[in-house]
Amino acid sequence: MPLFQSSSTKLTLLQKVPLFEGLSQRQLRLIAQLADEVDIPAGKRLATAGETGHEFFVIVDGHVAVKIRTGRTVRLGPGDVFGEMSLIDGGPRSATVEATTPLRLLVVGHREFWQLLAEAPPIAHTIMRTLCRRLRDAEAAPTA
């Protein structure tokens, strides 16, 4: 499997990602240009709490473990996103994220992330909803 797919193969893949549902063909073509499709082996660390973050990730296939500083671990899978927090506020990674299975990811760099949100507002809405849900979950979680 090549590391980066041709743009037509990538377009077919993007159409199956829930985050991109309802977007126009023009928006999907732009995302195909902005996002790299990458296959990652199980066990690889994708973000380290406290370090600077440079990428935003969309899980196409596979699962990751998000190890939050409180000691809690959250499992994310197909359709979920991570890495948005550091790109939005410029702060360090809030959690360590590791692949628990082989992964297929869409990876978006910092500059491309803002371009993506500007060009496809529904993605910005989904990310805002995700942030709100994570905040509510974090507040509802029992303290260690």
- Please calculate the CA angle 15-134-33 and round it to the nearest 5 degrees: 30
Q: How many Å is the maximal CA-CA distance in the chain? A: 48
CB atoms within 10 A of CB 32: 20
What part of residues 118-137 is at the interface with ligand CMP (CB under 6 A)?
Answer: 134, 137
Can you read off the two tokens belonging to residue 57?
């990730």
Is the CB of 1 or the CB of 144 nearer to ligand CMP? 144
- Which amino acid belongs to residue 44? K
Q: How far is CA 76 from CA 66, 79, 98, 121, 132, in A?
A: 7, 9, 10, 23, 16
Q: If binding is defined by CB under 6 A, does position 116 make contact with ligand CMP?
A: no
Residues in binding contact with ligand CMP, number by CB under 6 A: 17
Shortest Å distance, C-beta 68 to ligand CMP: 5
CB of 59 to ligand CMP, least distance (A): 11
3-class secondary structure, 99: strand
- Under rule CB under 6 A, residue 27 binds ligand CMP: no
Q: Does 67 bind ligand CMP (CB under 6 A)?
A: no
Q: Which of 19, 27, 35, 53 is close enough to bind ligand CMP by CB under 6 A?
A: 53
CB nearer to ligand CMP: pick between 5 and 127 = 127
- What is the distance in angstroms between the CA of the first residue and the CA of the last residue of the chain? 43
What residue ranges bind ligand CMP (CB under 6 A)? 47, 53, 66, 68, 74, 82-86, 93-95, 97, 134, 137-138
